[in-house]
Amino acid sequence: MSEITPEIVAEHGLSPEEYDRVLHALGREPNLTELGIFSVMWSEHCSYKSSRVHLKKLPTKAPWVIQGPGENAGVIDIGNGLAAIFKMESHNHPSYIEPYQGAATGVGGILRDVFTMGARPIANMNALRFG
């Protein structure tokens, strides 16, 4: 079994503090597969570890909010028995590795989540930013 070095931890996108949390959670040194699982689950894509603090500042409760954070997509009452469904997807790493396919899977995730809220998409925008 390979020894988990600080370089391997860094290659997996985990900070030394996060690696300490892994050690505490497992009560032992992880193997490479376990390190990979923590790396994925604690990535920005899955856990929003760097943007969560900013997302929490956004308003999420109001009489017109039918579904706020925690579901597949947000649902807002726009009157006359109609609702608008909004969804954003982060595909930072997949889009960095393969811009076209990474962005395509991001759009697919957005459409899936709009459908799961019982809605039909009428518009879709894909913004891809590097840097």
Single pTM value for the model: 0.64
Residue 72 is encoded by which pair of tokens? 């597949």
93 counts as catalytic: no
Catalytically annotated residue among 24, 45, 54, 93? 45
Q: Which structure tokens are listed for 91?
A: 């595909």
**Per-residue pLDDT tens digits of the chain, which is 131 residues long:** 579 999 999 999 999 999 999 999 999 999 999 999 999 998 877 777 888 888 889 889 999 999 998 888 999 999 999 999 998 877 666 666 787 787 788 888 889 999 999 999 998 876 666 65
Could you give the angle at which helices 32-41 and 16-26 cross, rounded to 10 degrees? 120
107-116 long-range Cβ contacts below 8 angstroms, 24+ apart: 112/72, 113/72, 113/73, 113/87, 113/89, 114/72, 114/73, 114/85, 114/87, 116/72, 116/73
Cα-trace Rg, the chain: 19
24 is catalytic: no
Q: Any idea which residue has 């990979």 for tokens?
A: 36
Name the residue among 73, 126, 81, 61 with its Cα closest to residue 99.
126
Sole residue written with tokens 């009560």: 27
- 97, exposed or middle or buried, with CB in 10 Å at 0-12, 13-18, 19+? exposed
What angle is formed at CA 55 by the lines to CA 53 and CA 56, rounded to 5 degrees? 70
What contacts 36, CB < 8 A, 6 or more positions away?
Answer: 12
Catalytic, out of 12, 24, 54, 91: 91
